[in-house]
Amino acid sequence: MSAFGRRNGPGGINPGARPSFGVARPMKGGERAAPAQTAPKGGEQFPPLPGQAAAPDPATRPSGSSSNRNQDDAMSRLAERANNTHDNASDFGGFEASIHKIKEQVLPRLLERVDPEAAASLSKDELSEEFRPIIMEVLAELKVTLNRREQFALEKVLIDELLGFGPLEELLGDPDISDIMVNGPQQTYVEKKGRLQLAPIQFRDEQHLFQIAQRIVNQVGRRVDQTTPLADARLKDGSRVNVIVPPLSLRGTAISIRKFSEKPITIDMLRDFGSMSDKMATALKIAGACRMNVVISGGTGSGKTTMLNALSKMIDPGERVLTIEDAAELRLQQPHWLPLETRPPNLEGQGAITIGDLVKNALRMRPDRIILGEIRGAECFDLLAAMNTGHDGSMCTLHANSPRECLGRMENMILMGDIKIPKEAISRQIAESVDLIVQVKRLRDGSRRTTNITEVIGMEGDVIVTQELFKFEYLDETDDGKILGEFRSQGLRPYTLEKARQFGFDQAYLEACL
Q: What is the DSSP letter of 348?
A: T
For residue 30, pLDDT beyond 70: no
How big is the chain by its Cα radius of gyration, in Å? 30
- What's residue 10's pLDDT? 44
Half-sphere exposure of 474 (CA within 13 A, CB side): 10
Going by the DSSP 8-state scheme, the letter that residue 174 receives in this structure is -
The reported pLDDT for the residue numbered 81 is: 79
| pLDDT, tens digit, 9 for 90 and up, residues 429-462 | 999 999 999 999 999 888 899 999 999 999 998 8
Contact of 506 with 494, CB cutoff 8 Å: no
**Residue 125 CB coordination number (10 Å):** 9
More confident residue, 126 or 485: 485
How far is 427 from 381, CA to CA, in rounded Å?
Answer: 11
- Identity of the amino acid at 395: M
| Residue 190 predicted with pLDDT over 70 | yes
Cα(73)–Cα(39) distance, rounded to whole angstroms? 34
Q: How far is CA 295 from CA 260, 403, 460, in A?
A: 21, 9, 21
SS3 at position 282: helix
Helix ranges (H only) for 113-223 are: 116-120, 124-142, 148-163, 168-172, 206-218
Can the peptide bond before residue 247 be classed as cis, meaning omega within 30 degrees of 0? yes
> Phi first, then psi: what are they for 484, rounded to 5°?
-105, 140
* pLDDT at position 165 over 70: yes
Q: Where are the beta strands (DSSP E) in 400-482?
A: 436-442, 448-460, 463-477
Ordered alpha helix ranges (H), 434-487: none
User: Rounded to whole angstroms, what are the CA distances from 398 to 301, 308, 401?
Assistant: 12, 11, 10
What's the whole-model pTM score? 0.74
Q: pLDDT tens across 199-217, in order? A: 988 888 899 899 999 999 9
| pLDDT average, residue stretch 324-346 | 86
pLDDT tens digits, one per residue of 89-134:
555 556 667 777 787 778 777 777 777 677 767 777 777 777 778 8
Do residues 158 and 43 make contact, with C-beta atoms less than 8 angstroms apart? no
pLDDT above 70: percentage of residues in the chain:
84
Which runs of E-coded beta strand occur in 305-428?
A: 321-325, 337-341, 369-372, 395-399
Phi, psi torsion values for 398, nearest 5 degrees: -155, 165
Q: What was the pLDDT predicted at 101?
A: 77
Residue 494 has pLDDT above 90, yes or no: yes
Convert the pLDDT of each residue in 363-384 to its tens digit: 899 999 999 888 888 888 888 8
The pLDDT value recorded for residue 65 is 56
Q: Identify the top-confidence range among 65-74, 158-167, 248-257.
A: 248-257
Q: What are phi and psi of 243, to 5 degrees?
A: -125, 135
For the cut 70, the answer to whether the pLDDT of residue 306 exceeds it is yes
- The pLDDT assigned to 49 comes to 52
Residue 342, φ and ψ in degrees, nearest 5: -70, 170
Q: What is the DSSP letter of 198?
A: E
Q: Which of 61-70, 182-191, 394-403, 404-413 has the lowest mean pLDDT?
A: 61-70
Q: How far apart are CA 154 and CA 109, in angstroms?
A: 14
Burial letters 74-94, b for 16+ CB under 10 A, else e: eeeeeeeeeeeeeeeebebee
* Element of type H or E holding 189: strand 188-192
Q: How does pLDDT run across 495-505, given as a tens digit for each residue?
A: 999 999 999 99
Lowest mean pLDDT among 132-141, 169-178, 186-195: 132-141
| Per-residue pLDDT, 146 | 76
Residue burial 55-65, b: 16+ Cβ < 10 Å; e: rest: bbeeeeeeeeb
Residues in Cβ contact with 258 at an 8 Å cutoff, skipping those fewer than 6 apart: 178, 179, 239, 240, 241, 301, 329
Q: Distance between CA atoms of 276 and 269, rounded to whole angstroms?
A: 10
